[in-house]
Structure 1
Amino acid sequence: MSKKAWGGRFSEQPEDWVDAFNASVHFDKALIQYDVQGSIAHATMLAKQNIISDDDCHQIINGLKDILKDYEEGNLSLDVSLEDIHLNIEHELIKRIGDAGGRLHTGRSRNDQVATDMHLYTKEEVTKIIELIDSFKQTIVDIAEQHVDTIMPGYTHLQRAQPISFAHHILTYYWMLNRDKSRFEDSLKRIDISPLGAAALSGTTYPIDRHETQSLLNFSSIYENSMDAVSDRDYIVETLHNISLTMVHLSRFAEEIIFWSSAEAHFITLSDAFSTGSSIMPQKKNPDMAELIRGKVGRTTGNLMSMLMTLKGLPLAYNKDMQEDKEGLFDAIHTIKGSLRIFEGMIDTMTVNVEYLQQTVYNDFSNATELADYLVNKGVPFRTAHEIVGKMVLWAIQHNIYLLDVPLNQYQEAHESIESDIYDYLKPENCVSRRISYGSTGQASVKHQLSVIKQQYNTN
């Protein structure tokens, strides 16, 4: 006799390799706690509606709890021929408590059952991701507060552009992560919906109470359309998108960490705990954690694309293709949680080489724009000032010096309005402090930025 829940219709058994191809239990076993949670809510509702007896309900709930406990302790074997975690649990339940276990599935289908599990899983994991983002953001703020006055080169096109505050630079990633958090929080409105009771696609003839299971499972809302309830995977696509974009932001930050920690830059020194060595070159200290995070963006983005392609062209309501919604999501969630933890630890333990950073901005032409602004303040049109400064930079390069080293007579030859105050004007720390526009890199503006962040925390 077939063990399959749908075996009554079939006269032949599939071969083992077909069972293995069809099965999802090797990965959807990650849903077991949510499946038990959903089944307990369903059984409780069935008893309340007098669809099953209180005694059956009591046996079902105790049986489910025992099965979950045995699984967590490694004492439950899962059978590939039973396809998924849902049928494995049901089969085990019937084996343990008899006919009462067979009444659990009254008024529901695996379609709404698995959808419920996935909503519960995604809701809990997205909440954890939000908490990790918040923790990482706080670490960035802590570092920024220590380095408002630390000056570093700011870049465009990976060419030194203007001197900036290290705090201002690193706070850019705070705001990226803040938007990421906002997207995850907003997505919870579309995750926190109960599909339970939609059954296969059209609802059920039993007098179930879907609002009761919604309340028992702490969902904030309920699907109004049973077909939408079992076919919706928008929340998974949205979660994968939010993960992918957050990982892109982490990848950009990782690229900076990799560059900053290089011998060529030497802006920071990574902790040994977040670095590795070379198997052949004993002097090496590699930023492997940052490189791995940068590399893992490919898999999270790939998971998003895979899910979109799976859904493209699928007719309503449920199709077996939708079994492909799980592995990519599980992997993406595991990846981003690990990446956020690693990244926070990596920057929390890094050393900012303050003196070296301060020195670098004295040995470049990142103060050239200041010279142009100086001339503009003397009444020179900006385009004219731009040309004058460009020629002065070329002269300095040809003479192997920087703008602070150019003799005053050479400046005055370039334009008669330049006076001896130019040297104080061009000091990198003064270049930064003069940035007074809202949201700029000037120390006063950065301090205000930090006060805005603290106000947000107090509001939340």
Structure 2
Amino acid sequence: MKLWGGRFEKSTEGLVEDFHSSIRFDQRLYKQDIQGSIAHAKMLGYVGVISESEVNQLVQGLDEILGDIEAGKVEFEIGAEDIHMNVEKLLTERIGSVGKKLHTGRSRNDQVALDLRLFLKTEIDQTKSLLQNLIQTLLQLSEEHLETWMPGYTHLQKAQPITLAHHLMAYVQMFLRDVGRLKDTRKRLNISPLGSGAMAGTTFPLDRGQVARELELDGVTLNSLDGVSDRDFALEFLAAASILMMHLSRLCEELVIWSSGEFQFISMDDGYSTGSSIMPQKKNPDVAELVRGKTGRVYGDLMALLTVMKGLPLAYNKDMQEDKEQVFDAVDTIKKCLLVVEPMLWTMQVHRDTMASGAKGGFTNATDLADYLAKKGVPFREAHELVGRIVLQCSKKGIGLEDMSLQEYQGLSPIFQEDLFSSIGIEHCVRARKITGGPSPETVAEGIRESRKVLEKLLW
């Protein structure tokens, strides 16, 4: 008989029972469910709802069930619907009628809201740790490539010369923001809804604060309707996860491009590449491509839960059973991606000469030539127009700005002097950009030091 079956005269249809059950996926919450139940049992004893002896029986029984689940000795039942009722059924079978007292003053509605919060709290901590490893790898690579010259791009067209360190540090800033978003999400979800009951609390004198403290939560929800129906914390996590995946996807897209035969800026390690079943020569950046592809999966998780929640009246509705699979999928996806991207970066081979050669092409020093004129008093718009004509002339001749003679330059403007060539050298173009956030090696080195400080603060 169902634990809620007293009101019913007829058994649930088998088809409905299978459709209704969530144990296939929410069994993943077994640890959080048992943690919450132990805290609830201790509190029931503290406020005098059950005896100390009963508390001890409940806690011991729950501890034993936890151990058996982790040892693979428990087979969950679809007929018991979900993890909450499976655990309660196992407990009652072990310790008898005392197990039936565990649910006093509690509903599955506030129980699952607590479980999901506890689950995400742990998963966010683990994700932040993986992000920390990725950021530290990027910082280390940036230190190693402070003077690895490369072209920077806008519209995928060569724009200005930068360094690989400067490029990688852009991703450091993105991932630092991701850590901050996860930290903010964790702070907001770290409160206990237990005690909200089904939707209107309970007449039992529960000490909600004690349960929160036992579970290392910062407080309790202040409205029982919101306590059971809120999934903002899950949506916020999925939103943060989607942005994180977008950053990973952008990085992987660049690795795919850089490893192509047309660029040849990097070579992916054999351990993070695959071949073709028909083309013997192929070495494909499949790992980076798959991370890029999995980004859409996490976006889908966010959109699915937003869609589930968009029209729900207060308070709990069965639709909300659809929250967990989205959260579980996003958690698994981002952790797997972070685990594989970090060593993929460590093991890639950077072709410094090819990058430097690329920085010299495409008139990446044109802005510096315009700046040269502006520093000599030519209004920048006039300088811009003149350099544009010079670029057109060089383009037709198939030469670079540094290949024109001084005489040719002076034929266009007497302002040009011998010092113009040092001003448009690729290394000078990079080193001269010492403004905060710029690509000069010393500026980037300072950015690395500051980013390490920011990371340390975010991890507290």
- Shorter-chain TM-score category? over 0.9
Aligned to 1:442: 440
* Offset from partner CA, 1:420-457 (integer Å, 9 cap, x none): 22222211001111112221112222122122223335
* Aligned match of 2:135: 137
Q: CA deviation at 1:237?
A: 0.7
Shift of 1:175: 0.5
Query: 2: distance between equivalents of 1:457 and 1:339?
Result: 20
SS of the counterpart of 1:193? coil
Q: 2:226 aligns with which of 225, 228, 231?
A: 228
Q: Give the Cα separation in 1 of the matches to 2:30 and 2:343.
A: 31
In 2: Cα distance, 1:49 partner to 1:425 partner: 79
Please give the root-mean-square deviation of Cα atoms over the aligned residues, in Å: 1.3
Asked whether the equivalents of residues 47 and 53 of structure 1 are also in contact (C-alpha less than 8 Å), the reply is yes
SS in 2 for 1:379: coil
Residue pair 1:16, 1:81 contacting (<8 A) in 2 also = no
Q: Which amino acid aligns with 1:277?
A: G
Asked if 1 retains the 8 angstrom alpha-carbon contact of 2:269 and 2:349, the reply is yes
Verify the 8 A CA contact 2:23 2:78 in the aligned structure 1.
yes
The corresponding residue for 1:174 is: 172
2:359 paired residue among 358, 361, 379: 361
Query: What residue in structure 2 maps to residue 29 of structure 1?
Result: 27
Task: Give runs of aligned pairs for residues 398-417 of structure 1, distance below 5 A.
Answer: 398-417=396-415
Give the aligned length: 458
Structure 2 counterpart of 1:149? 147
Alpha-carbon displacement from aligned partner over 1:220-274 (angstroms, at most 9, x marks no partner): 1111111111111110111110000111111111111111111111111111111
Residue 386 (structure 1) aligned with residue 374 (structure 2)? no
1:138-217 residue pairs with structure 2 within 5 A? 138-217=136-215
CA distance in 2, matches of 1:379, 1:120: 64
Q: Distance in 2 between matches of 1:316 and 1:78?
A: 31
Where does residue 240 of structure 2 map in the other structure? 242
Partners in 2 of 1:194 and 1:248 — Cα distance? 31
Which residue type is aligned with residue 357 of structure 2?
A: Q
Q: How does 1:37-436 map to 2 (within 5 A)?
A: 37-436=35-434
**Could you tell me whether the CA contact under 8 Å between 2:434 and 2:440 is conserved in 1?**
yes
Could you list the per-position Cα deviations for residues 376-425 of structure 1 after superposition, in whole angstroms to 9, with x for gaps in the alignment?
A: 22222222221221121111121111112122222222222212222222
1:86–1:110 Cα contact (<8 Å) kept: yes
Post-superposition Cα deviations, 1:137-168, rounded to whole Å, max 9, x if no partner, equal 11111011111111100000000000002111
Where does residue 18 of structure 1 map in the other structure? 16
Which 5+ residue runs of structure 1 have no aligned equivalent?
none
Shift of 1:125: 0.8
CA contact (8 A) 2:176 2:455 kept: no
- CA–CA distance in structure 2, aligned partners of residues 126 and 417 of structure 1: 59
Please list every run of 5 or more consecutive structure 2 residues that lacks an aligned counterpart in the other structure: none
Return the alpha-carbon distance in structure 2 between the equivalents of residues 455 and 192 of structure 1. 25
1-side partners of 2:452 and 2:307: how far apart? 42
> Counterparts of 2:291 and 2:144 in 1: how far apart (Å)?
26
1:327: how far off? 0.2
Q: 2 CA distance for matches of 1:310 and 1:458?
A: 37
Look up the SS of the partner of 2:360 in the other structure.
coil
Mapped partners of 2:105, 2:383: distance in 1: 79
Letter in 2 for 1:355: D
SS class of match (1:361) = helix
Which SS does the other structure have where 1:162 is aligned? strand
Distance 1:206 1:451 in 2: 55
Cα separation, 2, equivalents of 1:352 and 1:253 = 15
Aligned equivalents of 1:362 and 1:137: distance in 2? 29
Alpha-carbon shift at residue 69 of structure 1 (Å): 1.8
- Residue 48 of structure 2 aligns to a residue whose secondary structure is coil
TM-score of the pair, normalised by structure 2: 0.97
Within 2, Cα distance between the matches of 1:385 and 1:329? 55
> Which residue number in structure 2 is paired with residue 452 of structure 1?
450
Deviation readout 1:303-353 (Å, 9 max, x if unpaired): 111111111121111110110110000000111111111111111211211
Query: 2: CA distance between counterparts of 1:216 and 1:458?
Result: 28
The one-letter code of the counterpart of 2:342 is E
Distance in 2 (alpha carbons) for counterparts of 1:363 and 1:110: 65
Aligned-partner Cα distance in 1 for 2:39–2:160: 60
Q: Distance in 2 between matches of 1:85 and 1:246?
A: 30
Helix, strand or coil at the partner of 2:377: coil
- The structure-2 alpha-carbon separation of the partners of 1:256 and 1:238, relative to structure 1 and needing over 3 Å to count, comes to same
Q: CA deviation at 1:46?
A: 1.1
Q: Deviations over 1:47-93 (max 9, x none)?
A: 12221122222221121122222222222111111111111111111
After alignment, is 420-429 or 430-439 more displaced? 420-429
The letter of the residue matching 1:240 is: L
**Percent of counterpart pairs with the same letter?**
47
Moved more, 361-370 or 174-183: 361-370
